[in-house]
Amino acid sequence: METWLNDRRMVGQSRSAARLGFLTGTSSTVAAISLAGALAAVAGTIGPDARWLSALGRSIVRLGGVPQGIPFATAPSAGWHNVPVLAELVFRGLQASLGDRGLLAAQIVATVVAMVVTARGARRLGATDTGTAAILVVVLAAGLLSFAGVRAQLFSLALFPVLVLLLRSEEAAPSQRIWVLPALFALWSNLHGVVLVGLALALVYLLGERARSRPLESAGVAAASLLALCATPALAMTPRYYADAVGNEAARRGYGLWAPLSLHSGFDILLVAGGLLAFAGFLRARPRPWQVLGALLLAALTMHASRNGIWLLLFIAAPAATELRVTARPPAPVAHGVALALAVAGVAGFVRGPLEIGASPQFVSEAIGVAHGGPILAEPAAAEQIALAGGVVWISNPLDAFNRSDQRLYLDWLQGRAAGRRALRGHPVIVVTRGSPAEQQLSRDRRYSRRAADGRFRLYVSRSF
């Protein structure tokens, strides 16, 4: 009995030491995590694919239920199946309590969680403090847009690294914790569509790695995870929602957030450079075949839409950190001082609030006032602001909620195509981005005159209105 108790004490001590191992000797890592939080706070901006969630969340609260279609848009959307209701309510709650600072706070938290969990995974694989810090800086620089831009994907920014850490932990020591996956996917499915990427990665592990030793368990977890995807208000129609989301007209054209990887973009060049560096370290770490397959899958998704590059970076970061041999290491007091200074900068950034890249409140109010309750034809970012301010638009995000023909017409107008001129019919009030194809086309149309402008947007009104 005494021997058994001694063994238990030794096991407990070893586990405690393992936990403390992540907390001690991590001065450089702490500084890198502080840098990430400070960057998200200081450079944080609220762009497209954020405010529509708050607008829908407000409608849900007012109605006491999920509305049919998109209530702030006049284009037909009655058949749309609303899946991310939880995300809409969370965004509404954050914005109602703290305004745009609420969304910025969520982005900061998601960024820090992503970095902490990734660092935890790297240290578990044997990465040094400086190696872990170095890879975090690489991920931060290469995935800059994902950390600085407040969008719906902030939920995935926190949950994806958790999934990766769980899968790698199970690869090292299979256990019953694998049954956490269905619960994780059920939560994630109510928040953001990148759950599909996470599910694909989990299936690669379950069927390509774990099934060789635990076939029945792996099949059970895979089946439960697929069913968990449908644990949303849309229930059995959830797959239809995801099919429409990934197959919308913007995705087919590679427009906006669906733009493919391009070497003409400075941010994409950063992504490629950081990704190649991390991928080289990842391959040198000799990952298991399922991890290589997963990385190749994520690389293909990144080529299709560059915004997916952040998931590739977060997946390969931990193994890559084990191969980064950084000899120079700042003294602990210096690193702690840097971390403290960055934390202060982060607090200052939060107090200031997110950077304003959208339309000014005065401009939005004027557009709504000029429209007199009628629908406004507006580019995506402005359309979301108008909807959140209580105005009505013709069409907006989420684009997949609308008929395919309306999606095509809207994108034709955004891209300045001749066919898009039909979108002007019945819309005497129009908001466009300065210098955009839509604005260039509209400025040549004598039927419209410019009524107002701010730093980025222009308000045009029909001369006959």
pLDDT score recorded for residue 25: 60
The SS3 call for residue 159 is helix
**Dist. CA 289–CA 208, nearest whole Å:** 8
Summary mean pLDDT of the chain: 91
Residues 208-232: what's their mean pLDDT?
97
pLDDT score recorded for residue 327: 67
pLDDT score recorded for residue 168: 97
pLDDT score recorded for residue 328: 67
Is the four-CA dihedral 365, 370, 375, 380 of positive or negative sign? Answer: negative
Phi-psi region of 214 (alpha: psi -120 to 50; beta: other; left: phi over 0): beta
Whether residue 302 contacts residue 312, with contact meaning beta carbons closer than 8 Å, is answered with yes
Residues 217-226: what's their mean pLDDT?
98
Whether residue 94 contacts residue 103, with contact meaning beta carbons closer than 8 Å, is answered with yes
Between 345 and 4, the higher pLDDT residue: 345
Does residue 271 register a pLDDT over 60?
Answer: yes
Does residue 136 register a pLDDT over 80?
Answer: yes
**Dist. CA 437–CA 417, nearest whole Å:** 8
309-354: per-residue pLDDT in tens? 999 999 999 999 999 877 667 777 777 788 788 888 888 989 999 9
pLDDT score recorded for residue 342: 86
Q: How far is CA 69 from CA 37, 152, 392, 404, in A?
A: 36, 19, 14, 15
94-127: per-residue pLDDT in tens? 999 999 999 999 999 999 999 999 999 999 999 9
pTM: 0.91
413-430: per-residue pLDDT in tens? 999 999 999 999 989 999
CA distance from start to end of the chain: 90
**Dist. CA 261–CA 271, nearest whole Å:** 9
pLDDT score recorded for residue 2: 41
157-196: per-residue pLDDT in tens? 999 999 999 999 999 999 999 999 999 999 999 999 999 9
**Dist. CA 398–CA 72, nearest whole Å:** 11
Whether residue 198 contacts residue 158, with contact meaning beta carbons closer than 8 Å, is answered with no
